[in-house]
Amino acid sequence: MRFELVSPERRLASVDDARAVRIPGADGDLTAMADHAPTITSLRPGILTVEGPNGEESYAVTGGFAEIGAGVIVLAERARHVDDVTQELFDDWVAEAHRAHSEAPEDGVDSAAKLLADMVAMGGHIGLNSNQANL
Amino acid sequence: MPSLKDLKNRIASVKSTRKITKAMQMVAAAKLRRAQDAAEAARPYTERFNAVMGQLAASAGGSDTAPRLLTGTGADQTHLLVVMTAERGLCGGFNANIAKLAKQRADKLVAEGKTVKIITVGKKGRESMRRNYGQYFVDHVDLTEVKRIGYGDASAIAADVLKRFEAGEFDVATIFFSKFNTVISQDPTAQQIVPVKFDAPEEGAGASNLYDYEPGEEALLADLLPRAVATQIFAALLENGASEQGARMSAMDSATRNAGEMIDKLTIEFNRSRQAVITNELIEIISGAEAL
């Protein structure tokens, strides 16, 4: 199964024979394997993991969607290999989520809060702590 | 007739001008390659994104509850023009062409009795539009400090545009930028971004109906449409970046050539007048000798 991870600025990963892809979907995690029903799901901030022939690779992704068809194509607004996510970068992301939350209009507060919580949880997964987690 | 000294000075000054334009051309060539690479690297994302959005919009856009970003406000009264130009000049007609297209559009809209608002991105377009269109300016985005256009810059512009849309400040938004064809040809282009327009899905792409959407089609649309605006702005900024360098490269190329021609002409004039001086001196010596 083909897997591609694309961010606006470049193509991060392209694997021809991925066995499974674990995707942080907006409605919950899902694992796509070959012959998965065609699905388009939006992403929440989280860790995307690909099981390829050379072992597992994990990426931190946020914003965008995954298209599961003949292969899996993930378009993420921001995507980094987990090893490349530094505390500094993560702090930036969290700060931005905070800003979005504080500026969110009445009917968007819930989703902004969820975004922030997801962002913080993502940091927890890769061992980065968020100083502003006390939401 | 200018003296020999004057001519010498002029030749020296044109020569140093040629050196500068030559250097600028080479810098632009290097930057052009980088800008083209950036545009190339962004293409898979933009293409895929627009394709999926096209399908999604076609299948969900018809309903009454579809997001306003897709269907529009139903009015066509207030237009927002986002004019994207360069921060620097010396790039031929690049900035002027974009500004001209935007001015024509603004004139047309005003003549139709519509309200026009303008956001400028890049200092050069702002300067050239300030005199006659200054009263329409609502905002300016400064990219002077930005060395490499990133997605973040585009999404900041998009966020600003969307905030104004939510606040009901305009009905239709259009971006003006220059499409990069080749080094010598760039097309100033106007593209509507709000309400968002997508190319219709290709014929035979009917398989799209088989997709499951998570969360539902409309929630997905609402989540992705703002990103689609940012994506289109990002693509336009990258095209603009490549166009600017291409235009600068060809402008500097012809400037270099012109300087070369001028040097040739001045050198001929210089040699002629030097010869005239020599001839004059000889005549004076000879006639002085004859008079004795």
- What residues in B contact A64, CB-CB < 8 Å? 224, 227
Indicate the angle between helix axes B217-291 and B151-166, nearest 10 degrees: 120
**DSSP-assigned states of every residue in B37-86:** HHHHHHHHHHHHHHHHHHHHHHHHTTSTTS-HHHH--S---EEEEEEE--
Residue of B nearest to A65 (CA): B224
Say what the pLDDT of residue A119 is.
84
Q: How many residues does chain B have?
A: 292
Structural domain count of chain B: 1
Share of chain A above pLDDT 90, in %: 33
The complex's ipTM?
Answer: 0.85
Interface contact B212-A39, CB threshold 8 A: yes
Closest-CA distance, A39 to chain B, in angstroms, reads: 4
Q: Are the beta carbons of A10 and B42 separated by less than 8 Å?
A: yes
CATH number at residue B189: 3.40.1380.10
Tens digits of pLDDT across chain B (292 residues): 688 999 999 999 999 999 999 999 999 999 999 999 999 999 899 998 988 888 888 877 667 777 888 888 888 899 999 999 999 999 999 999 999 999 999 999 999 999 999 999 999 999 999 988 999 999 999 998 888 889 989 999 999 999 999 899 999 999 999 999 988 899 999 999 988 888 766 555 554 457 888 888 888 888 889 999 999 999 999 999 999 999 999 999 999 999 999 999 999 999 999 999 999 999 999 999 999 8
Reduce the DSSP state of residue B143 to 3 states and report it.
coil
In a domain, residue B56? The reply is yes
Note which residues in 206-245 of chain B have CB less than 8 A from chain A. Answer: 207, 210-215, 219-220, 223-224, 227, 230-231, 234
Q: Does domain A3-83 have CATH number 3.30.420.40?
A: no
- Domain assignment of residue B237, given as a range: 22-201+214-251
Do the bridges between strand B78-84 and strand B172-182 make them parallel or antiparallel, or are there none, so unpaired? parallel
Closest alpha carbon within chain A to B220: A42
Q: What is the pTM of this model?
A: 0.89
Mean pLDDT per 10-residue interval, chain A, length 135 residues: 91 90 91 90 92 90 89 92 87 85 78 83 78 52
Q: In whole angstroms, give the CA distance from residue B24 to residue B255.
A: 10
Q: What is the DSSP letter of A43?
A: B
Distance in angstroms (rounded) separating the CA atoms of residues B126 and B99: 9
Q: What are the residue numbers of the active site of B?
A: 91
Asked if A42's CB is within 8 angstroms of B215's CB, the reply is yes
Which of B45, B211, B215 is closest, CB to CB, to A75? B45
In a domain, B290, yes or no: no
- Sheet containing strand B115-121, edge to edge, reads B137-141, B115-121, B78-84, B172-182, B185-194
Q: Which residues of A touch B155 (CB under 8 A)?
A: 77
Where do the structural domains in chain A lie, given as residue ranges?
3-83, 85-125
Q: Is B209 part of a structural domain of the chain?
A: no
Instruction: Specify the amino acid at residue B170.
Output: F
Residues in chain A with CB shorter than 8 Å from the CB of B210 are 38
Q: How far apart are CA B25 and CA B37, in angstroms?
A: 18
